[in-house]
Amino acid sequence: MQIEFVKCHGSGNDFPLVDARGLELHEDAWVRLARALADRAGPVGGDGLLLLTAGDATHAFGMRMFNPDGSEAETCLNGVRCTARLGFERLGVDAARVLLKTSDAEAQRQAELAPGVATIRTRVGPVSTRAVDVGLRIAEPEVIDAPIAGLPSDRAFTAVAMPNPHLVAFVDAVDEGELVALGDWCEGAPALLPARGNVSFVEVRGSEAAPALFVRTYERGVGLTNSCGSAMAASTYAAARTGRIPFDREARVFNRGGMVRASATPAAEVTIAGNATFEWDGRIGFDPATGALDGLTVIAQRPAEVASWDAMLASL
């Protein structure tokens, strides 16, 4: 069968995005498609596979996100922006409530972050800091800026469910070796965190009047990544909850992939405005039974969008 997709990215978090509303595939086939299309050694590559799915009575459309290892994430906020943009274009709307695996998000078009950079704002929450929601098997009801017994790190963490699980530590400077070692440990599904989790080290930058964060994340099912939207949201909430940045004030949140603008409320809602850049459109043959890909065709390039994003990065 032929699969059409858009190669897109949100803050450098890149994906093949498929309009799956008219496709009927067995769950195993979606897993095979994710592993094949997101494979960096394959013809497309990405940080995962995004699916635009049908909505329901209260959602215009939905999103599913599969990691490169085939596991399905509860959410992906960089992916929500890209999927929302495609949904807006297909349905002719500028705002929608988006159905996710275990929650939902509000999305709408936003004034451009920079000239030519398509921008979508999403709002999620309330997020949870309950240890059980994060998947931590501990006696404490929550972890806020405190060490976690049994974790191979003595750093203080804030545990946040977006609803996907995040452990956020604020550091003076990111040590990638330390981050990868801890992420690898969590990726092994230890008894402390059997469903695994995302781990972020965060540097606080800027000032109270103009707060900024730099986030580096080991993403569950992915590894060290240049960008993770839910990690940026979790880090924003954790920073506000621990008094490092003010609630209800927009912060610039940076990662290796780019920048978004984010804010958190005392009611545990997080808003992120960031890019949803479409780089090119493609078509590829896919065998649902084996997961084999064949015959990639680039239908259209989108050089103006790519150039606009590159110009924004150069200005940061």
Residues that are catalytic: 76, 228
Helix (H) or strand (E) segment spanning residue 293? strand 293-301
The DSSP bridge partners found for residue 157 are 146
The C-alpha R_g of the chain, in whole angstroms, comes to 19
Please tell me the distance from the alpha carbon of residue 98 to that of residue 148, in angstroms, as a whole number: 34
- Residues belonging to the chain: 316
Sorted by sequence, the CB contacts under 8 Å of residue 274 that are 6+ apart come out as 10, 11, 78, 81, 113, 119, 120, 229, 258, 259, 260, 261
| 35 three-class SS | helix
The CA-atom distances, in angstroms, between 261 and each of 148, 201, 203, 301 are 30, 18, 16, 28
> Phi/psi of residue 32, each to 5°?
-65, -40
Please tell me the distance from the alpha carbon of residue 252 to that of residue 211, in angstroms, as a whole number: 7
Question: What are the residue ranges of helices labelled H in the chain?
Answer: 27-37, 77-91, 131-134, 176-187, 229-241, 303-315
**Which residue's entry shows tokens 């004030």?**
249
**Which residue's entry shows tokens 């750093």?**
155
> Are residues 189 and 183 in contact, defined by beta-carbon separation less than 8 angstroms?
no
